[in-house]
């Protein structure tokens, strides 16, 4: 019996290792893609934060001195322009909420990627590994797509807000 166990144990070990090795390339590719997607999402978060801070500080200067004597209707125009600016800033706040919600699910999925990497290193992977890899690859691709969309939305909001800001300043100078 001991001889049988000694004979079967190495065979089982080799089969188990071979089973894990077939997933090495897909897991390593997933890990690399996941890191790129994570960096992209982080970059968007930083861009959003920087843009929000800049726009919030600029919104404080969208005021007209009470002593300013403006043409009739100019004040209404300024209020309308300021509304455009603040709506762009509010839109960035909504985008920030979307990004926060996505980040929590991203953390959850990152745990799964880490588990696959750890399983590969330890030589033990559980469950339907290819299904997990495919699910996470899809999530990685979606994250890249969302990050690109968020970045475009941030840039569009910034451009619109800066246009409104410049128009506000120009209009407030007219007498």
Residue 15 falls inside a structural domain: no
Residue 8 falls inside a structural domain: no
* Residue 123, SS3 per DSSP: coil
Residue 46 falls inside a structural domain: yes
**What gap in Å lies between CA 105 and CA 119, rounded to an integer?**
21
Containing structural domain, residue 35? 24-173
Residue 70 falls inside a structural domain: yes
Residue 3 falls inside a structural domain: no
Confidence check: pLDDT of 85 > 60: yes
Phi, psi (rounded to 5 degrees) for 125: -120, 135
Angle at 16 between CA 15 and CA 17, to 5 degrees: 90
- pLDDT in the model for residue 46: 97
Q: What is the dihedral of CA 99, 103, 104, 110, to 10 degrees?
A: 160
Confidence check: pLDDT of 32 > 50: yes
Average pLDDT of the residues in 51-55: 96
2 — pLDDT class (breaks 50, 70, 90):
low
Residue 17 falls inside a structural domain: no
Quick one: what percent of the chain has pLDDT higher than 70? 89
Confidence check: pLDDT of 39 > 90: yes
- pLDDT in the model for residue 144: 97
Residue 18 falls inside a structural domain: no
Confidence check: pLDDT of 40 > 90: yes
Angle at 32 between CA 30 and CA 34, to 5 degrees: 65
| pLDDT single digits (tens) 111-149 | 999 999 999 999 999 889 999 999 999 999 999 999 999
- pLDDT in the model for residue 15: 40
Residue 154 falls inside a structural domain: yes
Q: What is the reported pTM? A: 0.81
- pLDDT in the model for residue 8: 56
- pLDDT in the model for residue 132: 96
Confidence check: pLDDT of 11 > 50: no
What's the domain count of the chain?
Answer: 1
């Amino acid at each position: 019996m001991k001889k049988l166990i000694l004979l079967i144990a190495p065979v089982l070990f080799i089969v188990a290792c071979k089973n894990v090795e077939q997933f090495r390339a897909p897991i390593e590719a997933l890990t690399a893609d996941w890191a790129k997607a994570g960096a992209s999402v982080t970059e968007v978060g930083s861009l959003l934060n920087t843009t929000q801070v800049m726009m919030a500080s600029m919104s404080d200067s969208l005021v007209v001195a009470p002593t300013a004597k403006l043409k009739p209707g100019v004040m209404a125009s300024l209020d309308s322009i300021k509304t455009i600016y603040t709506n762009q800033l509010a839109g960035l706040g909504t985008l920030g909420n979307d990004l926060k919600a996505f980040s929590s699910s991203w953390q959850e999925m990152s745990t799964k990627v880490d588990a696959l990497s750890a399983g590969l290193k330890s030589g033990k992977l559980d469950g339907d590994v290819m299904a997990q890899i495919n699910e996470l690859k899809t999530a990685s691709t979606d994250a890249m797509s969302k990050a690109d969309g968020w970045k475009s939305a941030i840039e569009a909001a910034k451009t619109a807000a800066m246009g409104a800001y410049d128009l506000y300043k120009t209009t407030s100078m007219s007498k």
